[in-house]
Structure 1
Amino acid sequence: MSTYLHNLRRRRGKRLAAQYALPSDDRIAVIGLGRFGGSLANELMRRGWDVLGVDTDPRRIQHFSDQLTHAVVADCTDPQPARQLGIHEFTHVVVGIGTGIEASILVTSNLLEFQVPNIWAKAISRQHAQILERIGAHHVVLPEHEMGERVAHLVTGRLLDFIQFDDDYALAKTVTPQAATGVPLGESRVRSAYGVTVVGIKRPGQDFTYATAETVVERGDVIIITGRTQNVERFAAMS
C-alpha cells in the first residue's frame, strides 16, 4: 500500500472515530450483514445515513469496509462489545441476523436493555417474529415471507406492483380498467362501486401525478389504487 493511501485511510479512521464519539439522529447500526442486512446498510448509505455495520464474520466486514461509514467485527450477543461500540447511544438499530434465531433474540434483548428507542429486527419465521414481538422489538419484518406474498399477487393478477399494509389493506399499481375511463373520477363512482380509491395516475411518457375528483383517466393509463386487498385485486382483474 502506498504511503498516500495509508495516510488517507488513517485520516478517514480518525474522522470516523470523532464522528462516532458524538450522538447523531442520522446514525444507524445494522447488526448482521448478510443478504438482508448488507443490502439494507448499502441503501441507507445511499440515502445519506451514517451506517455502522457489525458482523461476526471478518470476511463480510472486509467486503463492507469501503462501502459503509464504519464496519466492525463483533459479537453483539455479548452486551460488552456492543456497549464498547457505542450501540447503546444509537436511536436506530437494525438486527439483520437471520441464520441464528438464538443470536437474533439475544442481540435484540441486549438492545432493549440499552433502551434503544427504535429496534428493527428481521425474523425468518412467524414463530421467530412472535418471539421478537413478545420480548419487545419495536418493528419486526419477515422479508422472505412478505416478498413471497407480494410476488404471488403480481404473478396471479393484473397488478404491476403491490404493497400490503396490515392484514387487509393494500396499495397497488395497475393498468386502468375500462370501468374507470372516460369520465372524471368524481363521476365514475370507483370508490362507491368498487371500494378502491385512485390516488395517482401516469400517462405514457409522463410522470406520476396526484389524482383528483376532476381527473379523467384514459385507456392505457397506469393508476395507483388503494383499498382493502380483496377490492384492489378485484378491481385490477377488470383490466
Structure 2
Amino acid sequence: MAKQRHSNKPVLVVGLGRFGIALSEQLIAQNKEVLAVERSRSLAQKHADSLTHVVEADATDIEALKQLGAEEFDSAVVGVGTSIESSVLIAANLVDLGVKQVWAKAINPTHGKILTRIGCHHVIYPEHDAGVRAAHLVPGQMLDFIKFDDDFAIVKMRPPKDLHGKTIDQCQPRKRHGVNVVGVKSPGKDFVYAQPDTKVSAGDTIIVSGDVTVLEGFADSA
C-alpha cells in the first residue's frame, strides 16, 4: 500500500516544450498530479487548461522554486533542452532543494555529464533514445523495443513462422534461438505469461527478452 501512495505523489515538471508536454500528459493519463513550471507566458497559458497545474515562473531562480514549494516534491523533471545553461541551473536548484529524484533531459553527452556531476539522479537522452529505438523498428519485424544498459532488451513482435501453431515447449525458443518468450497476446484475449503449454498462433503478438543481437536475428526470421 505504501508503494502505491508514493507512486501517486505529484510530479514537478519544468519546461513545456514538446518533451515536457508529452511527459506531463502521460503522467496525467496515469492519474498523477503534475505541477508544470514554464517561463514563457504564452506556453504557460496555452497549456493551462490541459494540465493539472501550470505556473509561469523562472525555475533558474531558486527563490521562485521555493515559493512554489519545490522542496516538497519527491520527483522533478527538467525538460528544458534549448539552453544548457538554464537546464543545469534548474537541475542544480532542484538538487540543492533536496528533491529526492531529479530527472533531466540532456541534448548531448557533455550536457549529460554536467548534469550528472551536479547531482542529477537520472539523465535522459530522448532524441538519441528515440533514434535507437526507431532503428530497431524501421525494418518492420519488431513492434516495440526497450534496451537496457547491458545489451539486454525486451521486444514486442509478431512470432516467427517457426513458432506458428506450436507450444513454447515444442518450439523451444530459448534452446534453439537463445531468447525467452515472456508472454503472448492473442487478438481479442488478455495478455498471458508464457508457459510450456502456451500455444503461439500467427496472429499473436509476443513479448521476447534476450541479448539485442540475438533478438535482432530472431526478429529477422519472422
Closer/same/farther in 2, CA of residues 39 and 191 from structure 1, 3 Å limit: same
Deviation at 1:65, TM superposition (A): 1.4
**Long gaps (5+) in structure 2:** 1-6
- String of CA shifts for 1:171-210, please: whole Å, max 9, x gaps: 1111111222343213422112211111111223433222
- String of CA shifts for 1:17-67, please: whole Å, max 9, x gaps: xxxxxxx96111100111100121122122222211101100011012112
Q: What is the rounded CA distance, in whole Å, between the counterparts of 2:204 and 2:93 in structure 1? A: 50
Runs (4+) of structure 1 exceeding 4 A deviation are none
Q: How many residues align?
A: 216
**Long gaps (5+) in structure 1:** 1-23
Q: What is the rounded CA distance, in whole Å, between the counterparts of 2:205 and 2:29 in structure 1? A: 28
- String of CA shifts for 1:184-238, please: whole Å, max 9, x gaps: 2134221122111111112234332221111121333221111111111110111
Instruction: Choose the corresponding residue for 1:189, options 161, 165, 172.
Output: 172
For the pair 1:227 / 2:210, whether they are aligned, the reply is yes
**8 A contact 1:157–1:237 mirrored in 2:** no
**8 A contact 2:8–2:33 mirrored in 1:** no
**8 A contact 1:157–1:236 mirrored in 2:** no
Q: What is the rounded CA distance, in whole Å, between the counterparts of 1:221 and 1:68 in structure 2? A: 36
RMSD of aligned C-alpha atoms?
Answer: 1.7
* Correspondence for 2:117: 134
* Partner AA of 1:194 in structure 2: H
* Correspondence for 1:84: 67
Q: What is the rounded CA distance, in whole Å, between the counterparts of 2:107 and 2:65 in structure 1? A: 23
Query: Percent identity at matched positions?
Result: 46
**8 A contact 1:42–1:68 mirrored in 2:** yes
Q: What is the rounded CA distance, in whole Å, between the counterparts of 1:168 and 1:71 in structure 2? A: 39
SS at match of 2:80: coil
**8 A contact 2:8–2:32 mirrored in 1:** no
* Partner AA of 1:171 in structure 2: I
* Correspondence for 2:9: 26
- 215-224 or 95-104, which moves further after superposition? 215-224
For the pair 1:179 / 2:162, whether they are aligned, the reply is yes
**8 A contact 1:198–1:225 mirrored in 2:** yes
Q: What is the rounded CA distance, in whole Å, between the counterparts of 2:94 and 2:143 in structure 1? A: 39
Instruction: Choose the corresponding residue for 1:143, options 122, 126, 138.
Output: 126
* Correspondence for 1:50: 33
Instruction: Choose the corresponding residue for 1:39, options 9, 19, 22.
Output: 22
**8 A contact 1:158–1:174 mirrored in 2:** yes
